[in-house]
Structure 1
């Protein structure tokens, strides 16, 4: 692996970790906000108006941050069933197609999210007193991260870094056992 690839990997690893921490903090803060709303509604009989829209906005952030992290860690949707029947060379290209589709989806998130922000920026969320465009900022932020993380995967794969080797090591018998276990849980 080249020095540039290592620097890029460290940067994206730190960005992913930061995103994970922000998502986790957002989840905790949202939980506190909802608990405060329940306490105020049922104990004080006076529910604050800002807690629900604030909690929904925080939820948007940790959902989109978590989705982007899932892309970097290869937990996004893919062609898993086909991967088990293809030779190793075909798997590489199928994973590349999957990453290109995720990349295009991230571009769409940024593009359409930006349009939504521009359309709603002049409105005001009455309970929070902020622009309605802030509702869509998490969509754009998550989209930017999805684009960056898929671009990282594509660049590493094209430069010959074996990012998929760990995924190819599972023998079909173990995969079948995991599928059977998953079916038992349903």
Structure 2
């Protein structure tokens, strides 16, 4: 979608997502070493790796919006030769924003419900809401990135018909 302007929102998504993937990889390597070399498995490693992966995915989706790397169906823009590219892109982003708001609200309600029940995870025995907090956090950040992208299109900072060139 053209040259991507520098964001006013810090790239905390990249740090959280990358950090979660690095820690997940280290934990998995340690678990494999313990299981096959030391013949002694860790009880908690698989669960923690799974939760870190969940956080990396949900938070990474927000960063993908910033970098314009989400999959999209562009057949209408292609058929119209870019004639309605701006309008179609704004419509698509608006629908995306509505979905992000919906998932964020439902996710917050679910996290509050889990917090009230005191449910804990099986192996780590941490509050289950920490795992599910990734959904409203990730979609909330994604909603902010969608708003940012809509603003960039509306102000002409990016052109929906242009070829992708990413600059930091």
**Is TM more than 0.5 here?**
yes
* Secondary structure in structure 1 of the residue aligned to 2:19: helix
Q: Assess, with a 3 A threshold, how the Cα gap between structure 1 residues 120 and 169 changes in structure 2: closer, same or farther.
A: closer
Cα drift, residue 45 of structure 1: 2.2
Give the corresponding residue for 2:85. Answer: 91
CA distance in 1, matches of 2:60, 2:68: 12
Q: TM-score, normalised by structure 2?
A: 0.83
Unaligned runs of 5+ in 1: 1-5, 171-186
Aligned-partner Cα distance in 2 for 1:29–1:161: 39
Aligned positions, number: 158
Match in the other structure for 1:144 = 140
Q: Distance in 2 between matches of 1:76 and 1:10?
A: 17
Distance 2:50 2:163 in 1: 40
1:128 to 124, 134, 139: 124
Matched position secondary structure for 1:94:
helix
Return 5+ residue gaps in structure 2 as ranges.
none
- For each residue in 1:79-119, what CA deviation from the matched residue of structure 2 results, as whole angstroms up to 9, or x when unmatched? 31211122545110100011112112211221121122123
* Residues 120 and 133, structure 1, Cα contact 8 Å, conserved in 2: yes
Output one character per residue of 1:105-148: Cα deviation in whole Å (capped at 9) or x when no partner. 21122112112212322101131121011111111111111110
The structure whose Rg is larger is 1
Q: Report which of the two has the higher share of helix.
A: 1
Counterpart selection for 1:70 from 41, 57, 64: 64
Are the equivalent residues in 2 in contact too, given 1:156–1:163 (CA < 8 A)?
yes
**What value does the CA root-mean-square deviation take over the aligned residues?**
2.1
Task: Give 4+ residue runs of structure 1 displaced > 3 Å after superposition.
Answer: none
When normalised by structure 1's length, the TM-score is 0.76
In the alignment, the residues of structure 1 paired with residue 98 and residue 28 of structure 2 have an alpha-carbon distance, to the nearest angstrom, of: 35
Alignment of 1:35-184 (within 5 A): 35-121=29-115, 122-158=118-154, 160-164=155-159, 167-169=161-163
How far residue 169 of structure 1 moved from its aligned partner, in angstroms, is 4.8
Match of 2:8 in 1: 11
- Superposed CA offset, 1:3-26 (max 9, x none): xxx8xx5422xx23x321321221
